[in-house]
């Protein structure tokens, strides 16, 4: 069973769409095997998004990601990395397909409601960032 990390970002928690996002995963047959709410520090947000450290949006993104609590989840299922990315939609909600999470709930390219790992390697690293083995219910 493949696993991926999903995060409902501070805007998703603030807008009250935690349940809506989770419902989409469950309706798609994806299993949630770990979940926690956590308020990242700016430092932790910078570590999590280190791959983007040289991008012009890095400071704003990490300020946003540490602006309020997030819900981190481990999703499991066949092909779940790609399936989750499809449910999320394009990074910029303006480009996201109808019926995707970002199209339906996101306000702009930064505050785009959800994060999802983009490869098996990043999934492994990102899951370990939030969860230890005992916290994942296989």
Catalytic site positions: 115
Residues in the interface with ligand UDP (CB under 6 A) total 9
Query: What SS3 state is found at 33?
Result: strand
- Which residue, 36 or 52, is less far from ligand UDP as judged by CB? 52
The closest of 7, 10, 8, 16 to 64, measured between CA atoms, is: 10
Chain positions 70 to 109 lying near ligand UDP, rule: CB under 6 A, are 91, 109
Among 61, 72, 75, 101, binds ligand UDP (CB under 6 A): 61
Structure tokens at 108: 């702009």
H/E stretch holding 24 reads helix 18-27
Chain contacts with ligand UDP (rule: CB under 6 A): 52, 57, 61, 91, 109-110, 112, 115, 118
């Amino acid at each position: 069973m493949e696993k991926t990390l999903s995060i409902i970002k501070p805007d998703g928690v603030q807008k009250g769409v935690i349940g809506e996002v989770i419902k989409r995963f469950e309706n798609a047959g994806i299993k949630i095997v770990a979940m926690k709410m956590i308020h990242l520090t700016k430092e932790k947000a910078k570590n999590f998004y280190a791959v983007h450290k040289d991008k012009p949006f890095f400071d704003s993104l990490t300020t946003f990601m540490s602006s309020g609590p997030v819900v981190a989840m481990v999703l499991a299922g066949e092909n779940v990395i790609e399936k989750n990315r499809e449910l999320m939609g394009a990074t910029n909600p303006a480009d996201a397909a109808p019926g995707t999470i970002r199209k339906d709930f996101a306000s702009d390219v930064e505050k785009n409601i959800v994060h999802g790992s983009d490869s098996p390697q990043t999934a492994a690293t990102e899951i370990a960032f939030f969860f230890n083995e005992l916290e994942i219910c296989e």
